[in-house]
Each structure stands twice: as structure tokens, then as C-alpha cells.
Amino acid sequence: MNQDTHTYPKISIITPSYNQGAFIERTIKSVLEQNYSNLEYIIVDGGSTDNTVEIIKKYQDKIHYWISERDKGTYEANNKALEKVTGDFWCVVNSDDLLAEGALEKIAAHIQRNPESKWFAGGIDYIDENDAVTGHFIPEKPEAVNGFTFIDGCWISHPAVFLSSDLINTIGKFEKYHLMDLNYWLRMELQGYSPFIVHTSLAALRLHKDSKSADRIKLHAEFLKVLHTFIVQNKLNRFNAILRTYNFHVRNYMRVVFYETLVTGNKKSAWSQFIDLTVKFPSSIVTRWYWGGVKRLMLGVSSTDLLRKDFFEKENNSNWNNLDE
């Protein structure tokens, strides 16, 4: 690859980490092996107690800045890194995710061809603990709800998102959420920005038992928290379409919590949740899943019920608790 650092944009890659010794070396190598001449690599570790720091030290001569100290969670680690960014564009690649081969050269070409764009979003591969690809996703912009495409869910993946460093000043830093990326995308849409879609995979998102992406109920609760706060703060609850979308996700969350309670055998709580759901969303009575819930409440959840596969997974050990410390 013949690159000229004067013409290729400087790209800053940020990796927040905490106790990801099993994966972080693969993340680091995926960044450094881009062989991109105008790269800045920043790692902010939250005081890992495993072998993460030892792995980082192996590559410290190629890392432009790194630190390991206790923090309040990924949002604070990312914000520390943003203070060190000197690149034209930046991207957050978590310590269990990967950059795709040639990703930086590809995104640099798009940046050069589209100088007016400040927000690029590419496709991702889903990978397991052993880096085996389990799926692919190329984002397509959904229909907006009163101007917001992210009100109905996050349809891009942050390891494949590259943002102009100008946005650090105009949009600001990350807010105190686990789903800080969704909040950031909503704030960008509020300011009139829209992502330029790159129709190729730029990164790999790892799904494993200890990743936040694998913890469905906590993710859904956090999604509702981000949505509700954003809607209220920006007085968007005056728009019926936005309220309908929000309530749709509230109902889905209540349904998932009800299912989990059913599977764990707490029938009394399940009945209470089911009645609450029926009162708040009476239209649910015409849906198939509603009557499936009635059947399970009356007859129980059989040993072959597919719900058991969904909810009897191993305990998730991802770090959800730092935000309140």
C-alpha cells in the first residue's frame, strides 16, 4: 500500500479496556496490522486485574498513548481518550472487537471522496470467541420517525463508525450510559447529521457470554433509559409517532421480562407482570405471543420449550455496574 501521510487523513483508533486479556491482543494486532501510515492508536484501560496490561506493554512502542487506571466505566475511558485524539477522524474499537483487514485504507478513500461528510458507518461481521464469523451486517438507513432514525433502535455498530474530530467540539463527549453510542447518534441527528453508509465490512463485533451485547434484558432496559431521557430532554414527547415507537419498545421489554420470569418458575410474579402488561397495553390481547403467554401461565413451561434455550444461558459477567460508583 503506497500511502502519503500528507494526503491520507489521520485516523485515531480508541480502545477502552477492562479485564479483556483473552481478546485484547487480537484487537491490538487488528489495528496495528492495518499498516496505515497515518494512524494514531490510543488505549485507555480501567485498571485491569488480569493480564491485559502486560499485553498492552508488549506493543507500547507502537501505541501513541495508553494508560491503566480505575475509571467509572467505558464512557469515561472513551472520554479520556477523546482528550488525546489528534486525528482528523476517530473510531472506538472495543477490546474484544476487531478492525477488518484494510479497513482504514477503505475508510480513508471514502473520506477523501466525500469531504463534506463527518460521519461514516460501515458493515460488520459477527464473530465468536474463536474469531469464527457467525454473521454479517451491512447497515441500511431506516425510515425516520420525526427526523430520527435511531429512535427505533441502533442500526449501526460503533467499531465500524468513523467520526470527524470536529464533532468532539460540536456534539461533545460521551454521556453516562452503557449504550453511550446510541445516545451519541441521537444527539448527532438532533444537530442535523446523518451517516454516510459504507457498504463493506469494516470491523468485527464479538458476541460471547461476557459481552454486553449478549445480555438482552439489561440492554433493553438501557435502551429504554437512553430513549426516554433523550425524548424528555428535547421535548420530543409532543410527537405522537415518537411516543408510539417508544411505547412499542416498552411493551417488548415487559414481554421479555415476563418470559424470563416464566422460565425461572416464579409463576406469582409472572402473573403480576402479565396483568400489568395487559393493563398498560390492552392491544396485546390480539397477538399470538399473548395467548402463548396465557398457555404457559396455565400449563407451565415445558422442558422442550424454546424459551428455555433463550433464558437459561450462563450468567453474563460483563461489567454493568461501574456507572454508579
In this prediction, residues 289-304 reach a mean pLDDT of: 92
pLDDT of residue 4: 54
Q: DSSP letter for 59, please.
A: T
pLDDT of residue 210: 59
Q: Where are the domains of the chain?
A: 11-208, 215-324
Share of the chain above pLDDT 70, in %: 91
Question: pLDDT, tens digit, for every residue of 186-201?
Answer: 999 999 999 999 999 9
Q: Do 177 and 191 form a contact (C-beta atoms < 8 A)?
A: no
pLDDT of residue 315: 45
C-alpha cell at 71: 475509571
Question: pLDDT, tens digit, for every residue of 134-169?
Answer: 999 999 999 999 999 999 999 999 999 999 999 999
Q: What is the DSSP string of 194-242?
A: -PEEEEEEEEEEE--TTSGGG-HHHHHHHHHHHHHHHHHHTTGGG-HHH
pLDDT of residue 309: 73
- The CATH classification number of 11-208 equals 3.90.550.10
**Torsion of Cα atoms, 16 then 19 then 25 then 27, to 10°:** -40
Q: Is the pLDDT of residue 212 over 60?
A: no
Residue 136 pairs in a beta bridge with 125
End-to-end CA distance of the chain: give it in Å, rounded: 46
Q: Is the pLDDT of residue 323 over 70?
A: no
Residue 224 CA to residue 151 CA, distance in Å, equals 10
- Give the containing element (helix H, strand E) for 127: strand 119-127
